[in-house]
Amino acid sequence: NKNVYCYMDDLYIYLRARADGAAPRGRPPKHEDKAQAAKDAEASCMGG
């Protein structure tokens, strides 16, 4: 599933932060816009 595979690193970082108590429970707060390199990597992985 590309929705998991393309974001595997982000999911791992989030789960690790939750396990260590560094991220609070609930929905994460709004985030900053993605850098262009991140947008390009996402588009490449998703096939677009």
* Range 31-39, long-range pairs (CB < 8 A, 24+ positions): none
Q: Check pLDDT > 70 for residue 9.
A: yes
Per-residue pLDDT at 48: 63
Q: Check pLDDT > 80 for residue 5.
A: yes
Rounded to an integer, the average pLDDT of 28-34 is: 84
Q: Where are the domains of the chain?
A: 2-26+34-46
Per-residue pLDDT at 28: 79
Q: Check pLDDT > 70 for residue 41.
A: yes
Cβ-contact 44, 5 below 8 angstroms: no
**Residue whose entry in the numeric block shows the structure tokens 């992985």:** 45
